[in-house]
Chain A
Amino acid sequence: MTDATVHHQPTPRDYWVIAGILFVITAIEISVAYVDAFDPVVAPVLITLSAVKFALVVGWFMHLKYDLKRYRALFYIGLVAAPILFGAVLFTFGVLIGD
């Protein structure tokens, strides 16, 4: 809207397409969690898929991809800091995600 860097905002059609992708990914996630054949790779696959969902919502629905770089920087600080700090905490307890 009032922003300077708006070149080509996504259209409602893009939003529906993204919602469709989100639906498909969620469906895949659930089947991966259920199908026993995937057991050895279930954690990395699920984490990757939800990271994709995360990125789609943040990038398009929250317009981060189209907005000021500053917002990205501010957002990334928290996004990067949290896993590092809490990873260290869990490490001292001998617990890590997905083990």
Chain B
Amino acid sequence: MTTTTAAPPATGKGIWSWVTTTDHKRIGILYGVTSIFFFLVGGIEALLIRSQLALPNGEILSADAYNQLFTMHATTMVFLVVMPLGAAFTNYFLPLQLGARDVAFPRMNALSYWIFIFGGLFLTISFFVGGGPDGGWFGYAPLSTQVGEVVRMDYWALGLIVLGVASIASSVNFITTVLTVRAPGMTLMRMPVFAWMSFIISFLLLFSLPIVSVGLFQVYFDRNLGTLFFDAANGGDPVLWQHLFWLFGHPEVYVLILPAMGIVSEVLPTFARKPLFGRTFVIFSGMAIGFMGFGVWAHHMFTTGLGPVAEAAFALTTMFIAVPTGVKIFNWLGTIWGGSLRMNTSMLFSLGFIFLFVIGGLSGVTHAVVPADAQQHDTYYVVAHFHYVLFGGAIFGIFSGIYYWFPKVSGKMLGERLGKWNFWTMFVGMNLTFAPMHILGLNGMPRRTYRYGEGLGFDLWNMVATIGSFVLAIGVLLFLINAWRSYRRGEVAGPDPWDGRTLEWTPSSPPPPHNFDEIPVVQAEDDFWHRKYGVDEHGRTVPRADYRPPVPGGPPAGLHLPSPSYYPFLSAFGMFLTTMGLVYVPWGLLVTGLGAVVMMWGLFGWSMENLVREHRR
């Protein structure tokens, strides 16, 4: 291939430099900031729900508003918060951990982000044009396929398809990155555990999203084209929707939790100053979870009448999937056992993760017991369970990651004093909110009802849960204040504030656009640690006398970084218009046509631009 002049690295300032960026670090930051914004949106939705339920016969929300809020709370938190937060970390740190200069396809990476944010906007716009989706985040047919005067569930179905396209594109990108652009010597088994978990998640998304996309198209066609996929009166079968949804929905659960597991597997060894105990087991457990995650979907459907054979089979697989999860917990405990622990905020969040995730995991195993599950189904017990794994698990793990990697991303330490307050308010708030829901559920309080009567025994615990949710909100607020203050005038971090183990701690904080002045040649697991420390004749860890911290020198001569491009943004915008038009069939097809033209323009320009080489780095 021809050698061209060195592309200007994306170091510019201003909005345009962010719109056109192809730097994986900037895209990671974009993902992170966007998800935090949606985290606040989803949080406000949750607070409204809890306010409505604080007292019996709540008057704050109408039934209609309540339906929209619980649907959008879940949709937002799953698709616009936890998933993209995982993508944010993966974007920023996967190439750094692999010793690469960028992901395999920098422009496609930008495209994923822009499609994602347009998908998020698309879903959110619905609130202002006739109401948000109101059929639940699972969109059970025929509730989701009933055609009213409003187009709420069209927004939902199309919005999720769009977000799915973004995720598939980034999954292809991440898998290719792992398989092709690792640094010399970085064998698969030497990859950091977080990189491994990102790799596994990409496969989960790759194989589960197409399935739900088909289901979502069928919902959309049932609503707009008169197809009969889920129309029971005319021979359709709504249970098919549940299969297509949960074939995606259960792997999705692991998509949400595995980033947190990866983060914890990085944080614990760093702050215990020990290698991860049973590292290979942790990796293989991750694979086992990913693999078995595809074999348990029907436990969401135990009350649909699957028949005894299927129920027994899925009960067994559900119990079995607890084994690799248990292995991981054991390994994390083994890692901190006997370590010299540094109890900073990141570590606290990781320990909080283990504690809360064990509770959520155990209540999850109770769902595997079919007769018990039939009682728990659609009660607050299930709500309590998945908030322990998704909030106590995924969000706590992600917060641990934020405290761990904030210094690398911003160059400043995230304040410890406010950080501890942040952790403890969130920890107390989380338990106050969700622990009472176990009791409420077992006492028979159903999910997704906007009111409950007086004197049913639900009053006390609902009030406790509502108070807890506001404590939780204060915790999140403390985090925002802390992040803002630390970003403005926090302690300067330096390249390696934690005495880290993996390659992302080698370059300066924040890393230069080209990541590494010289691509590292990897010789061991936790390569960076082994460059700093050796073992003396008594088997004790001692600093290497010959270790010198790398001095930032600048990019090697003739290095080509991916050049900025506005075509990803343009293509994503075209896709947004295309989808927007599909909501308002038939006249909206004009907008769809316009969007298709814009999209073609973007993609065609993109392929012409290919001359500027994608792989020259």
Contacts and interface: CB of A to CB of B under 8 A. Distances in A.
The finding on whether chains A and B are genuine partners in a shared complex, rather than unrelated, reads yes
A92 B306 contact: yes
B525 interface: no
A89 B294 contact: no
Interface string A55-99: 000000000000000100000011001000100110111000000
A85 B240 CA distance: 13
A85 to B, nearest CB: 6
A81 B294 contact: yes
Contact of B243 (A70, A77, A81, A89): A89
Given A70-B179, A85-B247, A92 B294 contact: no
Interface of A: 70, 77-78, 81, 85, 88-89, 91-93
B207 A81 contact: yes
Interface string B317-345: 00000000000000000000000000000
A66 B247 CA distance: 34
Which DSSP category, helix, strand, loop or mixed, fits chain B's interface?
helix
Given A85-B211, A92-B307, 15 more contacts: A70-B179, A77-B203, A77-B207, A78-B207, A81-B207, A85-B247, A85-B294, A88-B310, A89-B240, A89-B243, A92-B298, A92-B306, A92-B310, A93-B239, A93-B240
B237 interface: yes
Interface in B283-304: 294, 298
Nearest to A91: B310
Contacts of B247: 85, 89
Contacts of B207: 77-78, 81
Interface in B171-202: 179
B426 to A, nearest CB: 38
A76 to B, nearest CB: 12
Interface in B404-418: none
Contacts of A81: 207, 294
Contacts of A70: 179
Size range of the chain B interface in the assembly: 10 to 19
Nearest to B304: A92
13 contacts: A70-B179, A77-B203, A78-B207, A81-B207, A85-B211, A88-B310, A89-B240, A89-B243, A91-B310, A92-B298, A92-B306, A92-B310, A93-B239
A85 B293 CA distance: 12
Contacts of A78: 207
Contacts of A93: 237, 239-240
A92 B310 CA distance: 7
Interface of B: 179, 203, 207, 211, 237, 239-240, 243, 247, 294, 298, 306-307, 310
Contacts of A91: 310
B250 to A, nearest CB: 11
Lowest 3 CB-CB distances: which A-B pairs, in order?
Answer: A92-B310, A89-B243, A92-B306
Contacts of A85: 211, 247, 294
A92 B179 contact: no
A70 B179 CA distance: 9
Contacts of B298: 92
A67 to B, nearest CB: 14
B568 to A, nearest CB: 25
A89 B314 CA distance: 12
A81 B307 CA distance: 23
A88 B239 CA distance: 14
A36 B310 CA distance: 36
A1 to B, nearest CB: 13
Nearest to A78: B207
A77 B578 CA distance: 32
Nearest to B291: A81
Nearest to B176: A74
B615 to A, nearest CB: 12
B307 to A, nearest CB: 7
A72 B293 CA distance: 23
A92 B246 CA distance: 14
A85 B203 CA distance: 15
Contacts of B294: 81, 85
A89 to B, nearest CB: 5
Contacts of B237: 93
A89 B239 CA distance: 10
A75 to B, nearest CB: 12
A91 B239 CA distance: 13
A77 B247 CA distance: 16
Contacts of A77: 203, 207
A86 to B, nearest CB: 9
A10 B298 CA distance: 46
B285 to A, nearest CB: 19
Contacts of B211: 85
Nearest to B179: A70
A3 B237 CA distance: 48
A93 B310 CA distance: 10
Contacts of B310: 88, 91-92
A93 B207 CA distance: 22
Nearest to B211: A85
Contacts of A92: 243, 298, 306-307, 310
B469 to A, nearest CB: 38
A77 B211 CA distance: 15
A89 B294 CA distance: 12
A74 B364 CA distance: 32
Nearest to A68: B179
A39 to B, nearest CB: 27
